[in-house]
């Protein structure tokens, strides 16, 4: 699995910040509702409530701005999911950055290092799989598969063993 569980990311953010992260907000489209629900269940194990706002399948700037405003008043941090429909240049500049700049500024968790950049003032925190370690992990799986005569004996998903953290201070 490439995406890290949100609870892992939220717990790391909470450990790095002096303020408590108890409620994290996220915006999702209808197709991501199940994913958001599963992440909320995992986050609850660390006493972190994931507050979701659902937007249309193809949201406009005004709808996304409204959703961000709704969340800001209820949460300690914002989690921006890796959803290419919500991360278009138009929505990033017209909604995300416009609303995330408001005071007080909330920590914003993103899923890609380029989104954590002082020049863009978008994300403030990202935790990503270490690609070199993923390559080593994948090679290990290939060797295990070869030793098992190319028969899959234990199907399953493995989480990345190593991560990288990027933060805009």
**pLDDT tens digit sequence for 102-142:** 878 889 999 888 888 777 678 889 888 888 988 998 898 88
List the structure tokens of 17: 């910040």
Q: Which 3 state secondary structure label does DSSP give 93?
A: helix
Q: Which of 74, 82, 10 lies closest to 45 in space, CA to CA?
A: 10
DSSP label of 19: S
In order of 42, 138, 150, 152, 158, the CA distances from 145 in angstroms are 30, 11, 5, 7, 14
Choice among 62-71, 122-131, 158-167 with the minimum mean pLDDT:
158-167
Distance CA 156, CA 159 (A): 10
């Amino acid at each position: 699995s490439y995406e890290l569980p949100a609870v892992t990311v939220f717990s790391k953010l909470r450990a790095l910040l002096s303020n408590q992260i108890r409620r994290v907000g996220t915006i999702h489209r209808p197709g991501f509702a199940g994913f958001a629900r599963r992440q909320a269940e995992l986050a609850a194990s660390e006493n972190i409530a994931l507050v979701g706002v659902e937007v249309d399948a193809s949201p406009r700037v005004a709808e996304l701005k409204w959703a961000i405003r709704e969340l800001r008043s209820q949460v300690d941090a914002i989690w921006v999911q890796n959803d290419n429909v919500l991360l278009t240049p138009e929505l990033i500049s017209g909604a995300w950055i416009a609303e995330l700049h408001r005071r007080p500024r909330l920590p914003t968790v993103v899923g890609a290092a380029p989104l954590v950049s002082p020049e863009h003032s978008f994300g403030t925190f990202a935790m990503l799989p270490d690609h070199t370690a993923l390559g080593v992990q994948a090679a290990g799986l290939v060797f295990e598969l070869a030793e098992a005569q190319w028969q899959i004996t234990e199907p399953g998903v493995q989480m990345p063993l190593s991560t990288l953290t990027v933060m805009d201070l």
